[in-house]
Structure 1
Amino acid sequence: MTATATPTTPPRTPESREKPPSRRAGDIDSFRGLAALSTVAFHVRQEYTVYDAQGAHPPLNTPGVDALFSFEALDLFFVLSAFLLTSSYARAAIDGGSTRPASAFLFRRAIRILPLYVLAILVVWATRNPTLPGNWRDLAEHLTFTHVFDQERIFYTLGPTWSLSLEVLFYLVLAGLGPLAVRACRPLRRRGSRVAVCAAGCLLLYAAPLAWITYAHYGVGIPHTDWVAYFGPQARFGGFAAGMGLAVARAALGDRARLPRRAALPLTALALTGLFCLSLLSRQSGPEGFTTTYYHPLASALWMLLLFSTFHIRQLTVWNTFLTARWLTFVGLVSYSLFIWHEPVMLLLHNAGLLPQGTSGFPWALLIVLVAALVTAAASYWLIEYPAGLLARLKDTNGHPRNFYPDAALR
């Protein structure tokens, strides 16, 4: 909010005003949109990569350009989701106050995730299993979000949705840990002690996947193709921990120590450059290299820095202006549907012979898939996501059924 000028305080100029909450909501949507677009590009590139005895041959020969299109942004989803969902718990633990019941929290998360996900799973699974019983185990695991623990079926039906298994698991963990952290901090008199307890918990959750990855890769030599070992929560929860740490940091700082433009922009540039270099180095070091092995914990830390330099600021920067572009906020609005449908759309176009052949056709294939997937996502949002989201209004923030007719007793 913009501070009100007093006789002893000179009025702020428009460009020096603090960032209003509505602009942050637009930035969040845009981050989701960027992550979804990056995920589409990653999977189209993967489809056009040639594998032989000499290794993988991506469609783009320029390392820097290939690093952009091979960028894995799922960690951004994890960090952003954890940041948004943990913020209320962090504020309650550090400064007091109440939080919504776990049942209300899980109800809203279920309304957000399940309708579109279940429909997409059933539709895609049915098209690939025309005769019953089909691969019933694959269907059961996807409907229960347990396919991330199955080495064979982790990428079946809707390949990218292994990440939703971790998302749902995080909801359950947060519903338990959030209230526990609030209760643990209440007896502590000093605010600094409450901040330290919350920060230590986030640090522990971030360090645990690092320890597991080190043990799995260097200790017992588990190969990188063991998907359960490196895609499961024991390896990927660092992204959620980074988002929780960001929520704690912002709750601890409050409106203090907001970054001026001269500090926010360099931090933003540092985070973006770090993410690009990390992607480039991981491509060059190969699947067993150091940067590839620790790619996701490192990327999560850089995403955390980028989000901090975007949200905890005094003045809007050119980066914030870019994030509020209408086309990007639109992509962010339909990002969940884009994430869900882009792979089936890509495979449908490929099987119908509508995508160009050969690695040279990658740019056109990416454009075709993006256009088709965005149209599908927009229809999916308005026909499925938006109507399903209205169900969340059936309960208030405390999980109680809403009384839509408060004067009903007088009628």
Structure 2
Amino acid sequence: MSGQRQGRFNLEGYRALAAVVVVIFHAYQHNRYPPQWLWPLDGTLAHHALMNVDMLVDMFFVLSGFLLGLPYAKAALGVGRPRPARVFLLRRAVRLIPLYLIVVLIVWAISNPVLPGDWRDLLLHLTFMHVWSDEKIFYTNGPAWTLGVEAHFYVLLAVLGVLGQRYLVRLGSRRARLSIMVAVPVALVAISLGYKAWAVYVMRFPVEGWSIWFNPVAKLDVFAIGLLLAVACAAGVRWPNAVARAAVGLAGGGVIALGVWQRYEHMPDTFTHTLFGLGITLVIAATALSTGPGPRWLRWRPMVSLSLVSYSLYIWHEPALRLLDTLDLLPTPGPGAPFPVTAALLLGLSVPLAYLSYWMIEVPATRIAAAFDDDGRPRDYYHGLDPAPRARS
């Protein structure tokens, strides 16, 4: 395995890190205590760090844009195999939808024991349209809003990928292909920023307009920045040495710090996430565009193992938190020990549950893809077999 391929594989460690930190944050959020609903670590550096971990959700979108956009970018440049849209969408569906549906249906059924229940909420979640509803976007399973956004991005990427493979390869100039491939994500960033400016400065939507700030258009800029990294990787951009790699990583950290600082300077949050997305992309680029294997912690065996189950961990942890709370197994919210105890209990339940979910749901679900050929069409298992002999009269 080449250093570059190994480095790309290890990028999943970033997703695992983000999932674990999000779990810890939700344990922290659970420990706000009355009557003023204070945060347990308010006024400390740890509190400020935890209040900024929402940037790690942007990492999910950056990684999706990069890892899923890279095969399409290579195909558009003529250095990779074309990828039919149905194959891409089928693999995404097989990878994500079975577990998503199981979690949504279980949680919804428990929350709605009397039929017809909140059927509108169920319908919105089953169609990934809950991200357009202020009331339902965080309902049933709060973290599932990111999957609703991702589903929209997958459809967009399938369309862009098909167009790129079909038409860009016809251009004789590699520079012309690259120019268009860069221009498209830049245009998507501009569309997203324009939408945000309209929402903030023209319409003046309230902070509680959740579907305004968390819908696919609002997050499109972060995903598109990941696509730009995919284009750079497909074009062969690589850091010449470790010094350049470190400089890019440090630049990414600087951009992230700028985003945090601007958040405290009252820049609208929707714009700070653009800075977070850019900074995170640079941090990931330090590894993704390196000829070396990347940071050691990404190759640490427990991290590699955890990266396999990060999706299950992310989608199951809120139901696990609700279960622990319902069973009165969590300490009473307040300052001091309740938060770390809650975090330990939540991780103690969520991590084993994630491994069980991975092997019992995710792995079997991926075998569905074996029923389709490389073009995404159902396999004809009888093709090429001799017809049954006719019975003699």
TM-score normalised by length of structure 2: 0.91
1:249-398 matches, cutoff 5 A:
249-252=232-235, 254=236, 256-275=237-256, 278-279=259-260, 282=263, 284-285=264-265, 289-290=266-267, 292-317=269-294, 320-357=295-332, 358-360=334-336, 361-398=338-375
State the number of aligned residues: 384
Which of 4, 21, 24 is the equivalent residue of 2:8? Answer: 24
Task: Please give the alpha-carbon distance, in whole angstroms, between the structure 2 residues aligned to 1:181 and 1:95.
Answer: 10
1:279 is displaced (CA, Å) by 4.0
Q: CA RMSD in A?
A: 2.3
SS at match of 1:294: helix
Q: From the superposition, tell whether residues 97 and 28 of structure 1 become closer, same or farther in structure 2 (CA, over 3 Å).
A: closer
Q: Which runs of 5+ in 2 are unaligned?
A: 389-393
The answer to whether the 8 A contact 2:71-2:80 is kept is no
Distance 1:347 1:190 in 2: 56
Q: CA deviation at 1:66?
A: 2.1
1:335 CA displacement = 0.7
CA distance in 2, matches of 1:124, 1:117: 11
Asked whether the 8 Å contact 2:252–2:279 carries over to 1, the reply is yes
Cα distance change, pair 375–298 in 1 and its aligned pair in 2 (3 A): same
Q: Which residue of 2 aligns with 1:196?
A: 179
Q: Secondary structure at the match of 2:77?
A: helix
Residues 1:223 and 1:50: Cα distance change in structure 2 (over 3 Å): farther
- Amino-acid identity (%): 37
Residue of 155, 162, 186 corresponding to 1:172 = 155
Q: Which runs of 4+ in 1 moved over 4 A?
A: 50-53, 402-408
Contact 1:216 1:222 in 2 (8 A): yes
Q: What are the equivalent positions in structure 2 for 1:51-90 lying under 5 Å apart?
A: 57-70=38-51, 71-72=53-54, 73-90=56-73
TM-score when scaled to structure 1? 0.87
In structure 2, what is the Cα distance between the partners aligned to 1:28 and 1:164?
A: 19
Which stretch shifts more, 75-84 or 92-101?
A: 92-101
How far the C-alpha of 1:241 sits from its partner, in A, is 0.5
Q: Is the 8 A contact 2:252 2:278 kept in 1?
A: no
CA contact (8 A) 1:67 1:276 kept: no
Give me the whole-angstrom Cα distance separating, in 1, the residues matched to 2:280 and 2:108: 34
Name the residue aligned to 1:122. 105
Q: Which one is further off, 394-403 or 361-370?
A: 394-403
Q: Is the 8 A contact 2:4 2:289 kept in 1?
A: no
